[in-house]
Amino acid sequence: MKLQQLRCIHEVVKNNFSISKAAEALHTSQPGVSKQIQLLEEEVGLHIFLRHGKRLVGLTEPGQHVYKRISEVIREIKSIKQVSDEFSHSNAGELTIATTHTQARYKLPSVVQAFMAKYPDVKLNIHQGNPTQVTDQVVKGEADIGIATESISQNEKLFCLPCYTWNRCLVMPAKHPLAKEKSISLTKLATYPIITYDYAFTGSTIVSKVFHDAGLTPNIVLTAIDADVIKTYVNLGLGIGLIAQMAYDVKRDHG
């Protein structure tokens, strides 16, 4: 079993089962890729790919398990190369951060700016998703670190550290009946339509629990993963927005 055989299978799947694209990515010929796949299938005694004539159209059931292991091997090889690069260039390398839109948009810009100023030779990749997706990317080794809400700490495969605490705030049009209120009770808030984060975000679960503990049911009419999207629909008068306070800009959002 050779590393090039594993790379061929990995690239074919990555390129939607196109041998020509896999060959291009590996800087080799199509017959060369086909031969490497054939040799590995013969060695393990399994058909890894589903075929329609000469075309590869998918993975067989055992092929799915083989591909999963191959992906792990490829990731480990990349990590070994990264270690080598980091030791030969102590201030160079690549860092992938998985985080939510709110963190990437409102909290990380100044941090990233400072990091890049200190480590100009480090390439940064920022992957956005909900907390579940952030967790999955870190667990699978697709990201080096994850920054999200407290839900990621529930995964036993991760070591988590608190970064900071944040609060939520209500946003509404200036002419909304509640805009002049000095304080708004949960009871009063529950009588109005609410626009907030998608349920994949822990914050939404906590909000629902707060209402539930008070014997109330929030009237959540719309959810989104992006605070800017929430504010857009609030401006249309579709409801009161419940967002992370960091996503509210006094100058830009006022009025």
Q: Which helix (H) or strand (E) holds 248?
A: none
Residue 250's pLDDT is 75
- Phi and psi, residue 64, nearest 5°: -65, -40
DSSP string spanning 165-225?
---EEEE--TTSTTTT-S---HHHHTTSEEEEE-TTSHHHHHHHHHHHHTT---EEEEEES
Provide the 3-class DSSP secondary structure of residue 244: strand
Q: How far is CA 215 from the centre of its chain?
A: 34
Angstrom CA distances, 98 to 43, 127, 143, stand at 38, 5, 6
Residue 84's pLDDT is 66
Beta-carbon contacts of residue 240 (< 8 Å; ≥ 6 apart): 170, 171, 172, 176, 178, 189, 192, 193, 194, 195, 234
Residue 252's pLDDT is 74
Residue 3's pLDDT is 87
Q: What is the mean pLDDT of each run of 10 residues along the chain (255 residues)?
A: 90 93 91 92 92 90 92 83 65 85 89 91 90 88 85 74 83 90 90 86 70 90 89 93 86 69
Residue 20's pLDDT is 92
Report the alpha-carbon distance of residue 192 to residue 187 in Å, rounded.
10
Residue 99's pLDDT is 92
Residue 131's pLDDT is 85
Angstrom CA distances, 204 to 106, 149, 169, stand at 19, 11, 13
The domains located in the chain, with CATH, are 3-86 (1.10.10.10), 89-154 (3.40.190.10), 168-253 (3.40.190.10)
DSSP 245: G
Q: How many CA atoms lie within 13 A of 124 on its CB side?
A: 18
Tokens of 30: 């199509």
DSSP string spanning 87-129?
HHSTT-EEEEEEE-HHIIIIIHHHHHHHHHHH-TTEEEEEEE-
Torsion-angle region of 124 (φ positive above 0: left; ψ -120 to 50: alpha; else: beta) = beta
Residue 108 near residue 99 (C-beta atoms within 8 A) = yes
Provide the 3-class DSSP secondary structure of residue 143: coil
